Amino acid sequence: MTKYKTEILKPTKNNIDKCVKEIKKGNIVAFPTETVYGLGANALNTKAVKKIFIAKGRPQDNPLILHIANKNDLYKYVLNVPKKAEILINKYWPGPLTIILKKNKIVPNITTANLNSVAIRIPENKIALKLISKSNLPLAAPSANTSGKPSPTTAKHVYDDLKEKINYILDGHKCQIGIESTVIDFTSKTPIILRPGKITKEMIEKQIGKINVWKNKNSKKVKSPGMKYRHYSPKAQVILLKNISEVKNILKQNPKTKIASITKSKVNIKLSKKTNYKNDEELAKNIFSFFRDCDKKNIEIIIVEIPKDVGLGNAILNRLRKSASIIIE
Ligand code: TXA
Ligand code: MG
């Protein structure tokens, strides 16, 4: 396989132009968005999109999101835009909201993993918008991590996962939001949230009325999910705790283990690494980078105090449940 000399680039005009050329050549470029870093390629070029799947080690049955810069471009890629979708687009684009609609033939099957629908969003990040509009192409872009790992929220995270696999990473510092966009599907009768995010169910229902939320049948109350559902995962075992006094018991049961915690409450016990968060915004922004820092320090157990299951907390909890092996509620 070709080894690339991966460069982290400041988002100057020259460097953005360099990345535009790279995209037009049919190669892939990592770029910042307000949610997480994306790994972009020309969404209409089958060969280019294939490179994304290879670089990430992503299963080919997992479809990609098209990133566009201009609302009018949406109509090039979908069969129709229902009124309710249009209301949300007008309210929340550019921003962390991905809409799924019936696709038209111009979008290749590889991009949508053979589905007859396509996911689309306009990101808010200025660097992303410049890259997309100067390329004058829709960019297919999943999160720029190795498949299964926590999503990247800095250029360095992307570098750690994808060095030698891509030429350029545009550096936009730390992502503002820190978890991926809300994904809402408009291809069935009642719109349904497939992935919760910063734009919450309540915010959406205020605009368009009742919607559904996808429920993972496999998530049980006490201990879940099993290993095969792990995702967004650090090397360490993630334990979610409702009651922070449980930390003592975990430490007792694992006396020689390197343990880290990220909690809202103060933990008055000596651990290998401790961080406090003030609110859900701060937790969302830092959770994936905390996981990655723990890996660097060879932490074996990460304890996370469970946020309340409302608003942004609901979206964070969705990611945490997928990365955790034990949940003590
Ligand atoms: O915030 C984000 O959405 C980031 C940034 C880079 O934009 N992107 C991102 O992409 O998180 P990715 O590929 O890591 O996650 C996209 C999610 C996946 O769960 C995928 O299965 C789903 O969206 N998806 C994409 N197209 C779909 C479709 N046509 N039908 C159902 N789900 C779809
Ligand atoms: Mg992802």
Q: How far is the CA of 134 from the centre of ligand 2 (A)?
A: 25
pTM: 0.95
pLDDT of residue 325: 82
Q: Is the CB of 33 under 6 A from ligand 1?
A: yes
Write the pLDDT tens digit of every residue in 1-10: 788 999 999 9
Q: Is the CB of 197 under 6 A from ligand 1?
A: no
Write the pLDDT tens digit of every residue in 236-274: 999 999 999 999 999 999 999 999 999 999 999 999 999
Ligand 1 atom nearest to 38, measured from its CA: 6
CA of 232, nearest ligand number: 2
Name the residue among 176, 210, 172, 168 with its Cα closest to residue 192. Answer: 210
pLDDT of residue 318: 93
Report whether 160 contacts 289 (CB < 8 A): no
pLDDT of residue 252: 93
64 by Cβ neighbours in 10 Å (0-12 / 13-18 / 19+) ranks as: buried
In this structure, which residues have their CB less than 5 angstroms from ion ligand 2? Answer: 143
Q: How far is the CA of 66 from the centre of ligand 1 (A)?
A: 9
Please tell me what DSSP assigns to residue 237.
Answer: E
Q: Is the CB of 141 under 6 A from ligand 1?
A: yes
CA distance 278 to 255: 29
Ligand 1 atom nearest to 179, measured from its CA: 1
- The residue whose CA is least distant from atom 3 of ligand 1 is 181
CA of 146, nearest ligand number: 2
Name the residue among 223, 230, 218 with its Cα closest to residue 328. Answer: 223
Give the pLDDT of the chain (329 residues) as one tens digit per residue: 788 999 999 999 999 999 999 999 999 999 999 999 999 999 999 999 999 999 999 988 999 999 999 999 999 999 999 999 999 999 999 999 999 999 999 999 999 999 999 999 999 999 999 999 999 999 999 999 999 999 999 999 999 999 999 999 999 999 999 999 999 999 999 999 999 999 999 999 999 999 999 986 644 443 323 333 457 789 999 999 999 999 999 999 999 999 999 999 999 999 999 999 999 999 999 999 999 999 999 999 999 999 999 999 999 999 999 898 888 87
pLDDT of residue 327: 84
Distances (CA, A) of 108 to 63, 105, 114, 138, 190: 11, 7, 8, 12, 26
- The residue whose CA is least distant from atom 22 of ligand 1 is 63
CA distance 251 to 263: 15
- The residue whose CA is least distant from atom 15 of ligand 1 is 142
